[in-house]
Every structure is written in structure tokens, then in C-alpha cells.
A and B are shown apart, each in its own frame.
Chain A
Amino acid sequence: QLQESGPGRLKSSETLSLMCSVSGGSISSENYYWGWIRQPPGKGLEWIGNIYDRRSTHYNPSLKSRVTIDVDTSKNQFSLTLSSVTAADTAVYYCATGGYYLDSTGYSPDAFDMWGQGTTVTVSS
């Protein structure tokens, strides 16, 4: 299971930090990636990024300059850091996981087969 945690509210220009706790399995499991997706109020899903093998990352180009995803194996958690937030970053943030393929072209993630329940983040001015 996955469970998100973090501040529900923050102000513009601050840095958002969210954690996703993994239970029932190890975050060091092979062939699993760990990702973040968000959903603004009343809107669709937006992929934020994935981390593979605890070090390689793929990020949404529109967020890449502000996003960091990292893994803490000692706590069996992974994190999302989003800097310089604005009201446009207000959303429900989900953590999720799935399997991936690795070949000469790099990492190819399969579907998100497990999701956290989501955590609401509100950015105010």
C-alpha cells in the first residue's frame, strides 16, 4: 500500500515536500518504479515524474526545473519536492507505482498499478 503525507497548505513561492510511505513491500524491490501524479480541482490527471532503481528519474518537461523525486530506503519512502509553488500547483497529489522494462533505450514504465489515496495541497497567495 501507498500513503501520501505532507502539508495541506502552503504559500506562493514556498517549496512543497510530500512523502509516500510504502507498506507491504520494499521500496528497493527490483523492477518497480515510484511516481507522482497530480490532479487540479475539477481537472484531469497530470504526470509529474518517476524514479527507477532508486536513482534514475524522468520528469514532466513542464515541471522539470522545479521537481525532484527521491527515495529514502531507510524509511521505505519516496518523496516529491516542488519548488516555487504558485496557485497553479493546487491539486490532489497521488503517489503510485508499477513495473518497468529496461533495455538499451533506457527505462520504459508500464502502468501505474497501485495508487495512494491522494493528498490535497492548496497554495495561497
Chain B
Amino acid sequence: QSALTQPASVSGSPGQSITISCTGTSSDIGNYNLVSWYQQYPGQAPKLMLFDVSNRPSGVSFRFSGSKSGNTASLTISGLQAEDEADYYCSSFTSSTTVVFGGGTKLTVL
């Protein structure tokens, strides 16, 4: 199975908004709303930030939002803060009953 496609890196200044895209196919993102996003700091386990495309788990800042259009899902972080600097991964269920991750995006807060 092929990994979902994410930009290797994105950057933004504090207070700005950034969007990370995650492109799949009609067999995964395009066919299911089981898309999730994870934040990972160096040396730590990933943390769930969004599930079912746009739902935030309890405790996750409202600054994190998600959307989906066709085969592409997006994570938007508004009001960028220094603590948002991390790696971000998207994930989707697939029609082959597997789970696929994106390659990851490194977010740099300038």
C-alpha cells in the first residue's frame, strides 16, 4: 500500500495560520471519513489531534481544525504558537481494510 502524500515541511510565523495537506486516493481518503491527524514531538509518542476528518479529542486546542475534499484531507493550525513546532502525520482507513499513514510533515515556527 502506498503512503499518503504530505509536504515534507511547512513553516509559519507566530500568530499566522498554516495548512498541511494529505493526499490519498479514492480507496482511502476519498472513500472514508476515518481520517486522523497526529502530532509528534522528537522522542515522544504521537498524539491524536483530529479524528473523523475534523473532530477534536478532549483537550486539543480549537486552533486545530480539519477538512476533506475529494481525495485530500487538510489540517489547519490557526494562531500558530511556538509549541506547535512538531511533526504531523495524517492517517486513513482503506478499502483493503488496512490503515495507511502519510510520510509526515515537519512544522517549523519561525
Q: Which of A44, A106, A115 contacts B97 (CB 8 A)?
A: A106
**B34 interface residue, CB < 8 Å from A?**
yes
Report the count of interface residues on B (CB-CB < 8 A): 26
Evaluate contact between B101 and A44: CB separation under 8 angstroms: yes
**Interfacial chain B residues near A35, Cβ < 8 Å:** 99
Evaluate contact between A108 and B98: CB separation under 8 angstroms: no
A62 to B96, CA, bound (A): 13
Q: Given A110-B34, A111-B52, A115-B45, decide whether A60 and B98 contact each other with a Cβ distance below 8 A.
A: yes
20 intermolecular pairs with C-beta atoms under 8 Å apart: A35-B99, A37-B101, A44-B89, A44-B102, A44-B104, A45-B91, A45-B101, A45-B104, A46-B101, A47-B99, A60-B1, A62-B1, A94-B45, A94-B46, A108-B93, A109-B34, A111-B48, A115-B45, A115-B46, A116-B45
